[in-house]
Amino acid sequence: MATSDKKRKAGEAKSAHRPVVTIHDVARHAGVSSMTVSRVMTGKRHVSEAMREKVNAAIAELEYSPNLTARSFSSAVRVGAIYSNPASSNLGAFLMGAFRQSGESGCQFLIEPGASEREAIASLHKLVEARIGGVILPPPLCDSEALLELAANCGVIPFAFATAIPRAQVSAIIVDDYKGAFDMTRFLIGKGHRAIAFVQGDPSHSPSQRREQGYRAAMAGASLTIRDEWIAPGLFTYRSGLDAARQLLNRPERPTAIFASNDDMAAAVTAVAHGMNLRIPEDLSVAGFDDAQIAGTIWPELTTIRQPISDMASRAVALLSEQVREARTGLHPDVQHVREMLTLVERASTGPAPG
């Protein structure tokens, strides 16, 4: 028998009797957490060079090597997302950020529709069959107890996207919808507007309530009365914005400014105003929320609250894919609530209140 074959067989015999070394053994040997070991092994940042050296030394001393099956499983990380409104102006930005980050994170990104909770549940089952490890749920799906419970029961990590009611056990990207709406209302008040109407969002979306609360708080803080007829229902869709605008503008006493809960509805308000020969912003100021693509393509361009949807989607994919990898090494990933900043963007659709 050749010398190399003897060495190979000897090594195999030695390995057969040696206890299996786990990632937790490496962590104990290095005096660090198992999550730190995982981050070193997957090349993640936020680990000091000294810590990285300790972990690598422990790996070498214990001759730790994840089995080929685990490596293959980890390299095939898949995360999914379910969207509820295919016509939303935000969807394109969301997908752009998600797909960009999936390439950088080395994971596969899958997406399915879910206009209703029932359809979303069916889509989640499809994604589970495709072996996803985590799923991103935007409003209103991020607030569905049925979806969150189903994901957990299927061994899938849920991730709430832009929820206004984060849960302690579910990681989330959060924005302060209340403050965004408060700031926009105060901005309009600062322009001299006192008759400020509001178009509500879809009542099933948690951000809707927070945006209306911010509007009402700013009006109350300025001792301004909110007339019942100046609150119009909406569903975050362009069509619902058309109905809301007609309700608000087809009356003798019109508001001087309309703040819509998202840009799609604000764009619809401008369309109705143009059809009534109202000048924007001379006769009517219009403001939105999100800074979706439509905000910069209509005339006049829309004053709005910028929500960095593309960056938020990218961040969600990065965090979720890392959590899936950690879960596959036997860890329990930490729940993370990441807050993104909102910015008021002033454009041509708002101006001083008419004299």
What is the pLDDT averaged over residues 39-67? Answer: 75
User: What pLDDT score was predicted for residue 85?
Assistant: 86
User: What pLDDT score was predicted for residue 19?
Assistant: 60
Determine the topology of domain 76-175+309-341 in CATH. Answer: Rossmann fold (3.40.50)
Determine the topology of domain 3-65 in CATH. Answer: 434 Repressor (Amino-terminal Domain) (1.10.260)
Q: How confident is the model at residue 67 (pLDDT cuts 50, 70, 90)?
A: low
Distance between CA 333 and CA 22 in Å, rounded?
17
Distance between CA 343 and CA 207 in Å, rounded?
16
pLDDT over threshold 70, residue 68: no
Distance between CA 340 and CA 175 in Å, rounded?
5
Q: How confident is the model at residue 20 (pLDDT cuts 50, 70, 90)?
A: low
Instruction: Give yes or no for a contact between 313 and 175, defined as CB atoms under 8 angstroms apart.
Output: no
Distance between CA 280 and CA 318 in Å, rounded?
41
Q: What is the pTM of this model?
A: 0.77
End-to-end CA distance of the chain: 101
Domain 3-65 matches domain 177-307 at the CATH topology level: no
- Name which of 2-16, 25-39, 333-347 the model is least confident about: 2-16
Q: How confident is the model at residue 46 (pLDDT cuts 50, 70, 90)?
A: low
CA dihedral 21, 27, 33, 37 (to 10 degrees): -80
Side chain identity at residue 88, one-letter code: S
Q: Summarize pLDDT for 215-250 with one digit per residue, the tens.
A: 999 999 999 999 999 999 999 999 999 999 999 999
Determine the topology of domain 177-307 in CATH. Answer: Rossmann fold (3.40.50)
pLDDT over threshold 70, residue 43: no
Distance between CA 327 and CA 255 in Å, rounded?
53
Closest by CA position to 42, among listed 16, 66, 62: 66
Q: How confident is the model at residue 89 (pLDDT cuts 50, 70, 90)?
A: confident
Strand partners, 137: 160
Distance between CA 33 and CA 37 in Å, rounded?
7
Domain boundaries along the sequence of the chain: 3-65, 76-175+309-341, 177-307
pLDDT over threshold 70, residue 158: yes
pLDDT over threshold 90, residue 355: no
- pLDDT, the chain, mean: 89
User: What pLDDT score was predicted for residue 294?
Assistant: 94
What is the pLDDT averaged over residues 113-138? Answer: 94
Distance between CA 11 and CA 202 in Å, rounded?
65
Q: How confident is the model at residue 47 (pLDDT cuts 50, 70, 90)?
A: confident
Q: Return the structure tokens found at 156.
A: 């899938």
User: Above pLDDT 90, what percent of the chain?
Assistant: 72
User: What pLDDT score was predicted for residue 74?
Assistant: 45
Instruction: Give yes or no for a contact between 26 and 61, defined as CB atoms under 8 angstroms apart.
Output: no
Strands 257-260 vs 285-287: parallel, antiparallel or unpaired: parallel
Sequence-separated (6 or more) residues with CB below 8 Å from residue 50: none
What is the pLDDT averaged over residues 169-186? Answer: 97
Instruction: Give yes or no for a contact between 83 and 116, defined as CB atoms under 8 angstroms apart.
Output: no
